[in-house]
Structure 1
Amino acid sequence: MTDDTPEEPHVFPVGRKPGEMLFCTMMLILGGLLIAAIGWQTTWLDGKRLAAQPRFWPTLSLCGVVLFAGLNWLSRRKVERTPGRWREAGIWLRSLEFVGWYLLYVWAIPVIGYLPATVTFCAGLTLRLGYRGKPIWAAIGFALFVVLFFKSAMNVKMPGGAIYQLAPEGLRYILLRYF
């Protein structure tokens, strides 16, 4: 009996993955636009060496994005396409929901304060991901740890919530300082 399965793993896939060319094209366009904008987003300092220039490292990394996206695009363009490009793009777009969650969190901090916003954010994301029961309490515990660690232990300055102004004078100081 002969076994037709190869001994070595197949390193280079035979077909293109869904969305691979779309991703390469998007990276080429985005990288090219960012390189084009680098002139008015950064500066060139006279008398500084090349590696010390504020525009050098961002430009180098963006050139790497464009180069490797272009090489990937060129190496994969003649390979047989796997269907599902737009379904894959839909998955990418659905992940932007979590960017919205984060923006809502950042907006809520100056309004309701760092502690309530962080607890609500962690518990809300835990619920959104489908967890119930003990994981909710773990998320709340994590949020309390984060707030106490950053505000108390590391003394990170966060904006006080507008709602803290409604608290009595002594409690207001504690809320602004530690929570």
Structure 2
Amino acid sequence: MSQQADDHPHVFPEGRKPGEILFVTITMTIALILLAAVPWQTTWLPGKGLAAQPRFWPTLSLVGVVLFGLMNALSRVRVARTPGRWQEAALWLRSLEFIGWYMLYVMAIPVIGYLAATLSFCAGLALRAGYRGRTLWIAAGFGLFVVLFFKTGMNVKIPSGSVYEIAPEPFRYILMRYF
């Protein structure tokens, strides 16, 4: 065992990470807005215990987010800032692209069906991530596994694709039911 040269353990960094205060500010702002909306979004049930109230656990969770965010901000605000806050925020915004991919996937399911949408989604994300060759086939195989597991194996009710309507009559039911 070697002794560390300074008194601070390695888990407490000396400088702030880029975007740390920005992230805490955004998180606490959203939590405060949600906390303010709790009385209008939930009810108080007479005769129920505190833990059984619909607003208790969401309120407790949001108070925890605000409290721990505030503690983090107060402990980190005096620490020297590492440059790169807005580059970090730009990285966060770029990651919203994948929400768009998912929304496209969800909108494609009722049109082209769960099988085609899932295979396209998995292969498309693999291509977007830069994978080629064998890995692309693995992504497509994973998509097929997901379809067979959820729709065929677990009988999850997912809307059929409108493209299945043009399938020949003997195959239409099989496509709608299992794929």
Q: Relative to structure 2, which stretch is displaced further, 42-51 or 102-111?
A: 42-51
1:135 corresponds in structure 2 to 135
Q: Does 1:124 align with 2:132?
A: no
Deviations 1:86-135 (A, max 9, x none): 00000111111111101110111111110000000000000000000101
Q: Does 1:54 align with 2:54?
A: yes
What is the correspondence of 1:32-71 to structure 2 with a 5 Å cutoff? 32-71=32-71
2:174 corresponds in structure 1 to 174
* Unaligned stretches of 5+ residues in structure 1: none
Residues 82, 31 of structure 1: alpha-carbon distance in 2 compared, 3 angstrom cutoff: same
2:135 & 2:4 partners in 1: Cα distance?
Answer: 47
- Say what the alpha-carbon RMSD is for the aligned residues: 1.7
Residues 4, 166 of structure 1: alpha-carbon distance in 2 compared, 3 angstrom cutoff: closer
Residues 111, 4 of structure 1: alpha-carbon distance in 2 compared, 3 angstrom cutoff: closer
Displacement of 1:43: 2.2
TM-score using structure 1 length: 0.93
Residues 33, 8 of structure 1: alpha-carbon distance in 2 compared, 3 angstrom cutoff: closer
Residues 72, 4 of structure 1: alpha-carbon distance in 2 compared, 3 angstrom cutoff: closer
Displacement of 1:46: 1.8
Identity of aligned residues (%): 67
Deviations 1:117-172 (A, max 9, x none): 00000000000000001011111111111101101111100001111111122211
SS in 1 for 2:79: coil
Displacement of 1:41: 2.1
Q: Does 1:152 align with 2:152?
A: yes
1:81 corresponds in structure 2 to 81
Amino acid at match of 2:65: V
1:42 & 1:161 partners in 2: Cα distance?
Answer: 37
1:158 & 1:137 partners in 2: Cα distance?
Answer: 24
1:102 & 1:18 partners in 2: Cα distance?
Answer: 28
Q: Which runs of 4+ in 1 moved over 6 A?
A: none
Aligned length: 177
TM-score using structure 2 length: 0.93
Deviations 1:48-97 (A, max 9, x none): 11111121111111111111111111111111111110000001111111
Q: Does 1:22 align with 2:27?
A: no
1:20 & 1:118 partners in 2: Cα distance?
Answer: 36
* Unaligned stretches of 5+ residues in structure 2: none
SS in 1 for 2:68: helix
Amino acid at match of 2:151: K
